[in-house]
Amino acid sequence: MIKELILQAREKANAGLRLNLQEALALYEDNDLLFLADCARRMKEKKSGRQVFYNVNKHINLTNICTSGCPLCAFQKKEGEPGGFVLEETDIAKILEEAKVTRNLGEIHIVSALHPDKPFEYYLNVVKQVRQALPQVDIKAFTPVEIVHFSQMTGKSIKEVLEILQKAGLSSLPGGGAEILSDRVREIICPKKATTVQWIETIKTAHKLGIRTNCTMMYGHIETIEERLQHLFTLRDIQDETGGFQAFVSFPFHPANTGLDYLKRVGSWEDMKMMALSRLILDNVDHIKAFWIMLTMPIAQLALGFGADDLDGTIGEEKIIHAAGANTGRGITRSKLRQLITEAGFEPVERDTFYHPVETGEEAVK
Ligand code: SF4
């Protein structure tokens, strides 16, 4: 890497100026983690000051039976395979009864596999059922991959599918399934699910309909560093156009129990480098989330020093990431989240899906 390019990239990062791909690559190669942390922290503070967000949420995975067979995935089962499950109306009703007594529950987060037989109406009815049981709660549901699947199943356009779900009570999309937005990479890790073009089309359509989304990245598998960084620039371009991303969430790849189990999970140095670089590159995205269930809580807490300003939520029971060997707990209390944020020197703010502060009605845990 040319020395002048590294110097130029460092100057721009230090000044909080917009980076280009070559400069981002130079910063990656430079590998000065504490410098990146310092620049990223300053950019975070410009956006959210000393605040760090979390929410009280509950994840529901409707099924793990999937037609897609992505090599990257540890969650999927074939129909009839032991361990396969599908939640039916009564199962969901039971989960919602429990959710009703969860204090301050702000969000239900629903993502699932691409079931071969369950029709679109099944998913639509789940949204209606949640909306009816929990009228005040935000429903963040279905990745662009699932939306494309619904569109293909029904013959309806992506826009029509989103409009129907929105009308039934869908509040936002989680933005998963982006992995790395490169056709070369997707051909190897997830050849049958939504393409780069389809993922982007779904996101842009959602934003045009006023459905806000997150954006995501799963790194540390077969992608090159340039492909990984280019992914961030693709997201930045979308955000310049639509402004519909609320938060960016990055996931290190967990190889256990996947078709790529010969790979090794990247280390914490890489996680923190990507956290800081994401904060710097995505200068138009307000929030960077450290997804504790993927990173482990000690690393997620550390990420608050590398530009992250959100620890996600209490979660409840999560199945997808744990299928890939994540040994994090299955949920966490809000007081523990607040304590972890305070311990890192930040001010905990309970939020709803749209980052509006929520009145907690209790003292922050010191
Ligand atoms: S990543 Fe999603 S689409 Fe691919 S196999 Fe797993 S559940 Fe199915």
Assess whether pLDDT exceeds 60 at residue 134.
yes
- At 170, phi and psi to the nearest 5? -65, 135
**Of 98-102, 121-125, 357-361, where does mean pLDDT reach its minimum?**
357-361
For a mutational test of ligand 1's pocket, the pick from 65, 67, 68, i.e. the residue with the most ligand atoms closer than 8 A to its C-beta, is 68
For a mutational test of ligand 1's pocket, the pick from 115, 193, 195, 253, i.e. the residue with the most ligand atoms closer than 8 A to its C-beta, is 193
* Full-model pTM: 0.94
Q: In the block, which residue shows the tokens 């999927």?
A: 76
pLDDT confidence band for 102 (50 / 70 / 90): confident
C-alpha 85 – ligand 1 centre gap (Å):
14
Residue among 366, 359, 299, 311 at smallest CA distance from 339: 366
Question: Do residues 272 and 32 touch, judged by C-beta distance below 8 A?
Answer: no
* pLDDT at site 314: 84
What CA–CA distance (Å, rounded) separates 228 from 142? Answer: 24
Give the percent of the chain with pLDDT over 90: 86
Question: Ligand 1, closest atom to CA 64?
Answer: 7
pLDDT confidence band for 326 (50 / 70 / 90): low
Q: What mean pLDDT is predicted for residues 174-200?
A: 97
C-alpha 237 – ligand 1 centre gap (Å):
26
Question: Ligand 1, closest atom to CA 67?
Answer: 8
For a mutational test of ligand 1's pocket, the pick from 64, 72, 73, i.e. the residue with the most ligand atoms closer than 8 A to its C-beta, is 73
Assess whether pLDDT exceeds 50 at residue 151.
yes
Residue minimizing CA distance to atom 7 of ligand 1: 113
C-alpha 363 – ligand 1 centre gap (Å):
41
For a mutational test of ligand 1's pocket, the pick from 66, 216, 319, i.e. the residue with the most ligand atoms closer than 8 A to its C-beta, is 66
* pLDDT at site 240: 98
Assess whether pLDDT exceeds 90 at residue 366.
no
Question: Ligand 1, closest atom to CA 320?
Answer: 7
C-alpha 18 – ligand 1 centre gap (Å):
35
- At 306, phi and psi to the nearest 5? -120, 25
Question: Ligand 1, closest atom to CA 193?
Answer: 3
Tell whether the torsion through CA atoms of 125, 129, 132 and 138 is positive or negative.
Answer: negative
Q: In the block, which residue shows the tokens 């429903």?
A: 139
Q: What mean pLDDT is predicted for residues 175-190?
A: 97
Residues with CB under 6 A from ligand 1: 66, 68-70, 73, 75-76, 113-114, 145, 190, 193
Say which residue, 360 or 11, is predicted with more confidence: 11
Q: What mean pLDDT is predicted for residues 73-79?
A: 94
C-alpha 35 – ligand 1 centre gap (Å):
37
Per-residue pLDDT tens digits for 344-356: 999 999 999 999 9
Per-residue pLDDT tens digits for 4-45: 999 999 999 999 999 999 999 999 999 999 999 999 999 999
Question: Ligand 1, closest atom to CA 113?
Answer: 7
Assess whether pLDDT exceeds 90 at residue 325.
no
* pLDDT at site 148: 98
Question: Do residues 322 and 330 touch, judged by C-beta distance below 8 A?
Answer: yes
* pLDDT at site 365: 38
pLDDT confidence band for 334 (50 / 70 / 90): confident
Question: Ligand 1, closest atom to CA 112?
Answer: 7
pLDDT confidence band for 360 (50 / 70 / 90): confident
Assess whether pLDDT exceeds 90 at residue 364.
no
Residue minimizing CA distance to atom 2 of ligand 1: 113
For a mutational test of ligand 1's pocket, the pick from 62, 64, 70, 218, i.e. the residue with the most ligand atoms closer than 8 A to its C-beta, is 70
Per-residue pLDDT tens digits for 156-166: 999 999 999 99
C-alpha 75 – ligand 1 centre gap (Å):
7
Question: Do residues 233 and 281 touch, judged by C-beta distance below 8 A?
Answer: yes
C-alpha 338 – ligand 1 centre gap (Å):
33
What CA–CA distance (Å, rounded) separates 80 from 85? Answer: 9
Distance from the Cα of residue 274 to its chain's centroid? 14
Question: Ligand 1, closest atom to CA 72?
Answer: 1
Average pLDDT along the chain: 93
Per-residue pLDDT tens digits for 205-264: 999 999 999 999 999 999 999 999 999 999 999 999 999 999 999 989 999 999 999 999
C-alpha 66 – ligand 1 centre gap (Å):
6
Per-domain boundaries in the chain: 31-360
Query: Class for domain 31-360, per CATH?
Result: alpha beta
Between the two ends of the chain, the Cα-to-Cα distance in Å is: 46
